[in-house]
Every structure is written in structure tokens, then in C-alpha cells.
Amino acid sequence: MAHDLVIRNGIVVDGTGAPARRADVAVDGGRIVAVGEVEASGAHTIDASDCVVAPGFVDPHTHYDAQICWDGALTPSSWHGVTSVVMGNCGVGLAPCRADAREIAMRDLVNVEAIPYEVMQQGIQWDWETFPEYMQAAERRGPAVNLAFLAPLTPFRHYVMGEESMERAATAQETTRIAGLLGEAMDAGAFGFSSTILNQHLGFQGRPLACRLADAAELTAYANVLRDRGKGAIEIALTRKIGVLEEAQCETLDLLLRESGRPVTFIALFDRDDIPEAVRDTLRLAAPQIARGARPQTSPLPLTREVNMRNPFAFAAFPSWKRVFEDTSKAAQARVYADRAFRDAFRADLQSPLGFGNWERIAMHEVRAPELKAFEGMSIAEIARAQGKDGVDTLLDLTLADDLDIELTMSSWNTRVDRMAELLGNPAILIGLGDGGAHLDMLCDSGYPTYLLGTWVRERGALSLEEAVRRLTSDPADMFGITDRGRLRPGLAADITVFDPATVGSGNRGERRFDLPGGAKRMVMPSKGVEHTIVNGEVMYTDGRVTGSASGRLLRS
């Protein structure tokens, strides 16, 4: 009897770290039934000669919470071999949410994850209120990849506390109610919860994202929800200065690990050449917590982003920029940018530990005003020297001269090859931070799996092929307790990626597409060398295109 699918002649890298071997893979009913020599034919056969056959990649850090409403294939992640995504990171999301709070939920995503408000207005169909209802709504939409949900703490606090959630810690009674809702989400299949303490995470009206106000008593109660159920994980954005951990954050890690008894992953661990020993210092400081199950999370990509001055997330960490997010109309933002007091406050911020102090890193990418075209491609530092100004006045004068339509590029971290090889070679570090679905108009890091395989495995030899595949598959699956995926083994779900090891890869700069609801712009990263992405036994991406399959599943913890 023929199998549903047979993949023949491939180089099987099974996700465990075991040596690659030549083998066939047979699939029936969405499950792997054989890995080895398969004699029976297949109703569908893939010749994988000269290709690697690996488990589908598991992306542990995405923000597709809104995009699932209009793009079940969750592009571009699926182009890069991703078959399962973990959503609801960084404490921000769309459920639970009453009808009168929908604008607040969307504005949180605008400010924190740079998802355009007009896109969400047109693209989201609000057919849920509670978190379990949101999960069911996602399942009804027939996704093409598998969806695993974390419960983001902000909408849970807002659901119970209203706008006071952005002003104070919860009372004991409120904490009990919030913990009860988290328990309902876990019982419905959520894989844990997420939060943030990052000061650049400003939500509705430029106010602190609600989960940032949760105190130790609250976090204890929420961690206990996971402990009492013996399942789940916690994700938290923890490094107040990106890439740098401090003693206070280690205390938060201690609390979450102790009170939950579950794994915790924290972001963001980036190599910074402006703080040369930041990564080593962070790993040294967090060594006791890492030994107990804390996983720092990083990306293998050099971080380069486009910066749009209408949604200047890149500057949100500076206290002076809170004014820019309070009223996001163009006229209001222009008034702030022109204000001398704002500029002086920004200069003062740049002298603080948060300051970046290097205008060479920020370049003019595109302007609309013809008289400014000569500056395209130049750094702010170069323009400032030519005009005899400092970086602050140069940036903001150019912004006003282009009616705020100016677009910039900011190059920052993960650029030192030796340090990145050291970072990626550390098995304690979780590889992820793809941020799929977020920061749509400035960057696309969703191509990190193919970049890892092309740049760090094939070109630089920093990781073996087997170890890189393990870090993209069974490692994140085990971290979150996704038990039936991440390995090529009979009985497990047939999530499979077939790629050409000689060509697999992606760049570190995306390209523009205008395919969001309403024709809005987003940055996407095309993939190279991914021949097939197979989800639950069905091919959902092949020959460089999405097939229209709806074989994804709602994963439940």
C-alpha cells in the first residue's frame, strides 16, 4: 500500500544532533511512519537528492498575533522552513479584549511592535473576547503553519484593571482574578505567559505597557499558575539596556524560575561593539540562573533596521521621546520634533547609559523631498559635519524638511564575527528573535533560520549542520514543551523542511512589499535554497511559492 508521502534519497538530519545519514522518510495521516529505507511507493513523492531533510523549524519568538487574521501562511517565516511559531511574546497581544478596549490593544501593538494601526483596523476580524476564544478563532481560520500561544500579560491586566493597569500594580484581589484568567488560558492549551520590563515598550498614548507595572507579588502569582500545572514556560524582555543584564534583572529571573519551576527565556542578548564585553558580562552574571533553566535568546543576524520617523520605535527607550508617542498625528509629532526643549532633553538622554552616541550608525535611506535626495546614502554624522550641526539637530531638521516621511537605516549589533561565533556556539543560548509579524516597516529578521544555515554553517563553519538544525528544531520545541515536533522520528508529526545545503541562505536586508491589508508596506526577507516546507504531511511551500494548504494546527500545551 502506498504511503501518503515519501521523501527519497535525502540527507536526513533528524533534529537530535545525531550525524546526518542518507535515508527516506515516509508519511501517513500527517505523521512520520518510517525513517530509513522505504520500499513502498508514495501517493506523492519528493526526490530530495543532494538536499537535507530536517524537522520543520520552530520559531520561538514571533508577533503574528494580528497577521493570522489575513495571512495563514505567516509569510515570510514559512518561506524559510518554519513550520511552528510561538506567538504572544513580550507581554503584548490581542486577547483577552472587550470591544471597548480594542483600540488600546491595537495601539499597544503599534507602539511596541510597529504594526500599523490602519492595517489592523482593516485586517482583524474581532470574533473573540477571552483568550481561549482567541485561540479557537485562530484555529477556525485554517492556518498553514502550526500556532503555539503564550498568554501576553498586558491584555490580561487590562481586562481586569482597565486603564489603571498602565498606572499601578494590581491589588491582591485583582492579582487573583488575573491569575485565574491565565489559568484558563493554560488549561485551554497556552504554552505559558510573557511579559516585559523594557522602558522602550510604551503602549497606548505613550504610557508604559501594562505588564511593566506588575510587581513581584503579581509575578509570583502568575508563575505559580505554571508551577501548579507542571507545564509551560515564561518569556520576558528583560535587558533594560538592550544586550546588557543587570543584578536587578537577575533577581527577576530568580523569582520567575523559583516560583514557576519552569524554563524561562529572556531577551535580548546582542553582541554590541559599543559595549565590547556586554555578552560575556551578561552570561557571567546570569550563570546561576542559566544553570537552573534560564535561556538567553539571540538572533544570528546582524541587526539592521529601517527607521520611520512617524513610528520611531528605535528611539522609544529615551525618556524624552515619550512625548512623540502620546499623540501620533503628524502635526503633533512635527511640533515635538521642532521643539527646542525636546531636542535638549534628547541630547541629555544621549549622555545617559542608554545613549548610543554614534551617528555614523544611522544613515539616510530614502526621502521624498527632491532637495534632500543628495543626502540619501549618507550617515547623519556625515551630513552633520557638512552642515556644521550636531546629530540631534541634523536628524530632526531633515525629518521636518521631509514632512516626517524620511526613512533611515540603523545598523547596530551582532556584527563581530568572532564574538557571534562564540555566542552561537553556546548551547545555553536559545536561537530565535525572528520577531515575525512585528516592526513591519523597518526590518525583517524572520529569515534567521536560513541565514544561520547559510552564513554560520556553510560559509563560516561556526556550527555543524547537525547542531544548527538541532538549535532550530528540537531545542526550541523542548524549551516550550512542544512534544510531538522538532524531530524526525516515527510517530511524530510530519513537519519537515527540505533544503539545499549548497544554496540555503538569506541576506540581512529585506525587500519592500505592499501586500498588507489596504496595500500598506512591509519589509520581507526572501529565502534561498528552501525547496519544500511540509506541515502535518502537506506541502505548504514549494518552488518559491505558498501552495494554499491549510494543514497547520493549533498546538496545545
Predicted local distance difference test score (pLDDT) of residue 389: 94
Checking if the pLDDT of 368 tops 70, the result is yes
Sign of the C-alpha dihedral, residues 445, 446, 451, 456? Answer: positive
Could you give the percent of the chain with pLDDT greater than 90?
81
Checking if the pLDDT of 64 tops 80, the result is yes
pTM: 0.88
Higher-confidence residue of 198 and 533: namely 533
- Average pLDDT score over the chain: 94
Which residues of the chain does CATH 3.20.20.140 include? 57-303+416-485
Q: How many CB atoms lie within 10 A of CB 294?
A: 24
**What does the DSSP 8-state code read for residue 432?**
-
Report phi then psi at 100, rounded to 5: -80, 0
Please enumerate in sequence order all residues whose Cβ is within 8 A of that of 248, keeping only pairs 6 or more positions apart, or say none: none
Q: Cell digits for 93?
A: 497581544
The kind and range of the H/E element at 522 are strand 522-524
Helix (H/G/I), strand (E/B), else coil: 536:
coil
Fold for the domain defined by 57-303+416-485: TIM Barrel (3.20.20)
**Residue indicated by cell numbers 536559545:** 430
Predicted local distance difference test score (pLDDT) of residue 366: 84
Q: Cell digits for 496?
A: 519537515
Amino acid at 368: R
Closest CA to 546 of 71, 7, 44: 71
CA atoms within 13 A on the CB side of 442: 29
Q: Cell digits for 159?
A: 481586562
Higher-confidence residue of 358 and 67: namely 67
Q: How many CB atoms lie within 10 A of CB 519?
A: 9
Q: Cell digits for 510?
A: 529585506
Q: Cell digits for 349?
A: 538622554
In 3-state terms, the chain is what percent helix, strand and coil (to 5)?
40, 20, 40
Tell whether omega for the bond before 76 is within 30 degrees of 0, i.e. cis.
Answer: yes
Report phi then psi at 32, rounded to 5: -75, 130
Task: Tell me the average pLDDT across 314-328.
Answer: 86
374 burial level (CB within 10 Å; 0-12, 13-18, 19+): exposed
pLDDT digits (tens, 9 = 90+) for 78-116: 999 999 999 999 999 999 999 999 999 999 999 899 899
